[in-house]
Amino acid sequence: MADLEVKGLSKAFGGVQALQNVDFQAAKGEVHALLGENGAGKSTLIKCLGACQSYDSGEICLNGKRLTAVHPRQAMEAGIGIIFQELSLIPNLSVADNLFLGMKLGNKTSVTRKRIACRRAEKIFEEFKVEGIDPEQKVESLSLSEKQTLEIVKVLSRDPEVVVFDEATSALTANRVEWLFGLVEQLCRQKKIIIFISHRMGEIRRFCSVVTVFRNGQNVGTRLLTEVENDELVQMMLGRKIAGYYPEKTDTCREDAALETKDLFFEHYLDNVSIRLKYGEVVGIGGLAGQGQNALLLALSGAVKAQRGEILLDGKQAVLKNPKQAMAKGISLVPEERATEGLVLELSIADNLLLPVVSDIARFGLINRKKEKELLDHAVESLQIKVGNIDNPVNSLSGGNQQKVVLAKLMMTHPKVLLLYDFTRGVDVGTKNTMFTLLRKLAADGNCILFYSTDMEELVNVCDRVLVMDQGAVKADLSGERLTEENILKASIGDGVA
Amino acid sequence: MGNQKNRLQRSFSNLNIWIPYMILAIILIIMGIYQPGVINFNWLNRQADAWVTLALAGIGQTLVFMIGGTDLSVGGVISFTNCLAAVYMPQSVPGILAFSLGILLIGVLAGAFNGFIIVKFRLQPFIATLTTWAIWSGAALCILSVDGGKVPSLFTKALLHKFGSVKVSLLLLAALIVIGIFFKASRLGIALVSVGSNEKGAYFGGISVTRTKILVYMISGLLAAASGLFRTAQVASGSPTAGDSFILLSCASAVIGGCSVATGYYSFAGAIVGAVIMRLLTGLMVATGVSSYMTSLLQGVILILAVCLSSFTALFHNRKKMEVDV
């Protein structure tokens, strides 16, 4: 009998069968990867495992004993530790308080708790070799990568028997990924059961030994990673063969500049950024996480105003007071947190899509139903959004499909300049392919696209040109032959580029 | 270097916390100028009675605010416990003790009921506690339709007793400040911030959100009942509308006390200072001859100013960060 065994697990959300009679096994000392498109059922399986969600039928056994947890705390006590993709940290509490959230700390209600917590946090950070995080700091003030690190340490410090990484690397900076790699190796030696969810093939190959593929809520097979090719895995995930992972790059760049910045400056965030983007061009922004990329996109989209410097649109100075004004001028942003900044989760898919264009299709306050339907059909079709019913709320969709809705929503306004912030984070291969194809098509139609990603492979294969940012400044402008992953990495870490 | 900057930033964001103390200092200075010599230990002793009733309700309200709720039922619970004690409290010592404990228990149960219906039926705290306020006020009216009742003198003496020269109220205030420090470090104290700040995260982090919320409402109910008991002893009679003014005042104490879901900061001491400020301002209005009809109006104005001020300082703090400003 396997150490962790899931037998006949089923779970339905309304009419959608998220898990269908899933069997799954994992053994101690192995790193088990879960692969699958967004909405394939990986996250649901993990949530059932961690008792964050109930299931309709089936059972989960750990070391031959059936798990009966109904609250996340009980699952934790049973030895299941889950590092969530959606960060479950409390922004208003200190790092130390987060680390020991819901835990007993020796003396229950003592003023010295804070000191004890800080001291123990320091010890834990030392044990896990984490540097640069102050236990007294509020979590709010940490960067995304640091938050993810803290989330990992928080779960591991509770010494669980089963460790689940649910896209734990998606927000980590490159050196932290190395750190995690060492950590996983150590967990392996300690004979833990490790489950690893990621969309990055390279990481899966590095971290894992076994892989189980999910498709449409079913387990479609488990393979040893040494005996399986990427193509076969992709085929298992998709159930069909896709021609190329990345669309072909063609030079569609035009002469005239679309968007220019001159010495854009914001203390601690932007350091005299001057860039020039042309129509028909896909420009990437690279660099380590948190080097001002977000600030640049926010400034360009009108969401925040830079302290100094100017933005030029079509060669004329543009005053962008807010995103609405920027959108009216043809600049649209896909924000960092798609859930909180890009969509109104409780509204229906249709309403979300129509939000930016309501005034266009309405006359005297009434909405033109025919026009509305035309627009919606076109949007759903062009992006291949998997929707049950367009009137369902957006939060009924999986992450990847939500991201497609964000993009479709922006396309409704026919922007000239598209700003994309890490919009492939947590998106599966099939969806990425659709999105990249769309990006290239938009560029060919003469749009200008600025695209920030933490995935260098993506940048190299999708963009015509990549700007590498470091400490708020653009340190390198790579194109043509010079556009390679090595060069991006070199520029990010402050090395000169040949 | 980076660490130092961080510290500096942190102390800047903590400016908010000192506002209640600064306001208090300003009021005391003004009072000292206009009525020199009036502020002394005896004055403190006398005032403490008025402060403690509001401070108790204000602390309860602060805790409820921190989980993103409101508790309007404090008004009803204070009226009800006041009337109940004024009418039915027996004369004997064991009787008084048992009755007082019973009243505190009623407060806990009232709070538990609030928490239960809010959590289990997913009601808006505002609506839920508005209805329970009506229920308890109604119950108070059933017991005592007009002001009156007879409070055992022993009970009055006990709660107004002086240990040496220090009144029970003053001791209780000091005790509450100390309890507050321990409470903030307790698991419940941390759990309630996490529930208010990121409910889903708290749930995934293994905190029982339901239990935390119900517990907080129970504490609020308990403190309201205690406030009702003190009020009974001080006034030595019952009034079915005794608690109504506490609704606005307790909210004002909490807000002026500097609690904020956005930053996750709260303290018992802050809530007490908030209560003291509200009492002093009301006293000041009476002393300067503002009509009692105007008092409520001015209290409302003060509350809205306090709310705007606390949100303004948060805004000012955020300017320094490159964040989206809607």
ipTM score assigned to the predicted complex: 0.73
Domain boundaries B19-314, corresponding CATH code: 1.10.3470
Least confident of A39-53, B116-130, B261-275: A39-53
Q: What is the average pLDDT across A431-452?
A: 85
Contact between A451 and A463 under an 8 Å Cβ cutoff? The reply is yes
Interchain CB distance below 8 Å, B191 and A72: no
Q: DSSP string spanning A71-101?
A: SHHHHHHTTEEEE-SS----TTSBHHHHHTT
Structural element, H or E, at residue A115: helix A113-127
Q: What is the average pLDDT across B128-144?
A: 95
Size of interface A-B (CB pairs under 8 A): 103
pLDDT of the residue at B135: 96
Residues of chain A in Cβ contact (below 8 Å) with chain B: 50, 52, 71-73, 76, 82, 84, 86-93, 97-98, 101-104, 108-114, 134, 137-138, 141, 154, 266, 268-269, 295, 298, 303-304, 341
Residue A23 to residues A14, A16, A18, A223, Cα–Cα distance (Å):
22, 19, 14, 14
Residue-range domain boundaries for chain A: 4-238, 257-492
Task: Check if B1 contacts A (Cβ < 8 Å).
Answer: no
Q: What is the average pLDDT across B118-147?
A: 94
pLDDT of the residue at A39: 67
The two tokens of residue A411 are: 């396309």
Q: Per-residue confidence at B244, pLDDT binned at 50, 70, 90?
A: very high
User: CA A10, CA A31: separation in Å to the nearest integer?
Assistant: 24
Q: Per-residue confidence at B326, pLDDT binned at 50, 70, 90?
A: very low
Q: Which of B6, B183, B208 sits opposite A71 (nearest CB)?
A: B208
pLDDT of the residue at B324: 56
Distance from CA of A90 to the nearest CA of B (A): 6
Residues in chain B with CB shorter than 8 Å from the CB of A295 are 322
Per the prediction, chain A carries an average pLDDT of 82
Q: Which of B187, B206, B263 sits opposite A72 (nearest CB)?
A: B206
Distance from CA of B78 to the nearest CA of A (A): 29
Q: Per-residue confidence at A267, pLDDT binned at 50, 70, 90?
A: confident
Interchain CB distance below 8 Å, B194 and A109: no
Q: Is the pLDDT of residue A306 over 60?
A: yes
Best CATH choice for the domain A4-238 from the list 3.40.640.10, 3.30.1240.10, 3.40.50.300, 2.60.40.10: 3.40.50.300
Q: Look-up: residue for tokens 């990924």? A: A177
Given this chain, do its domains A4-238 and A257-492 carry the same CATH topology?
yes
Report the chain A residue with the minimal C-alpha distance to residue B7: A137
pLDDT of the residue at A345: 72
Task: Check if B203 contacts A (Cβ < 8 Å).
Answer: yes
Contact between B270 and B258 under an 8 Å Cβ cutoff? The reply is yes
Residues in chain A with CB shorter than 8 Å from the CB of B207 are 73, 101-102
Proportion of chain B above pLDDT 70, given as a percent: 91
Domain A257-492 has CATH 3.40.50.300: yes
Per the prediction, chain B carries an average pLDDT of 88
The two tokens of residue A441 are: 């098509």
Please name the residue ranges forming H helices in A239-322.
293-300
Q: Which of B185, B191, B263 sits opposite A92 (nearest CB)?
A: B263
pLDDT of the residue at A161: 92
Q: Is the pLDDT of residue A363 over 60?
A: yes
In terms of Cα–Cα distance, which of B159, B161, B176 is closest to B253? B176
Sign of the Cα pseudo-torsion (A117, A122, A128, A130, in order) = positive
Please name the residue ranges forming H helices in A305-455.
323-328, 349-354, 358-361, 369-383, 399-411, 429-444
pLDDT of the residue at B109: 97
In terms of Cα–Cα distance, which of A248, A289, A318 is closest to A464? A248
Residues in chain A with CB shorter than 8 Å from the CB of B6 are 134, 137, 141
Q: What is the average pLDDT across B208-223?
A: 95
Q: Is the pLDDT of residue B214 over 90?
A: yes
- Dump pLDDT digits (tens) for A186-228: 999 999 999 998 877 778 888 899 999 888 888 988 989 888 8
Q: Per-residue confidence at A338, pLDDT binned at 50, 70, 90?
A: low
